[in-house]
Amino acid sequence: MLLEEDEDEVERERLPKHVSVLTTEYIARGLDDPEYSAFESADDTRLGDDEGSGLVLTDVVVESVGSLKTPPRTFANWRIPSMKNVIAILAEDVPAQETLLEVWKDFKTPFKVMIYTGSFVIEGTILSDDDDPPEFYRQAFRPIEDATISHQMGLKTETIHVKQGLVNVFQIHGYSVEKL
1, 40 Cβ separation under 8 angstroms: no
**What phi and psi, each to the nearest 5 degrees, are found at residue 177?**
-135, 135
pLDDT above 70 covers what percent of the chain? 87
* pTM, 2 dp: 0.89
- Indicate which CATH number applies to the domain containing 111: 2.30.30.100
78-118 pLDDT, tens per residue? 999 988 899 999 999 999 999 999 999 999 999 999 999 98
pLDDT above 90 covers what percent of the chain? 58
* Host domain of residue 25: 2-179
85, 138 Cβ separation under 8 angstroms: no
d(CA 106, CA 16): 24
Q: For position 75, what pLDDT does the model report?
A: 98
35-50 pLDDT, tens per residue? 999 999 998 887 666 5
Q: How many domains does the chain have?
A: 1
d(CA 174, CA 122): 11
Contacts for 71 with CB less than 8 Å, ≥ 6 apart: 64
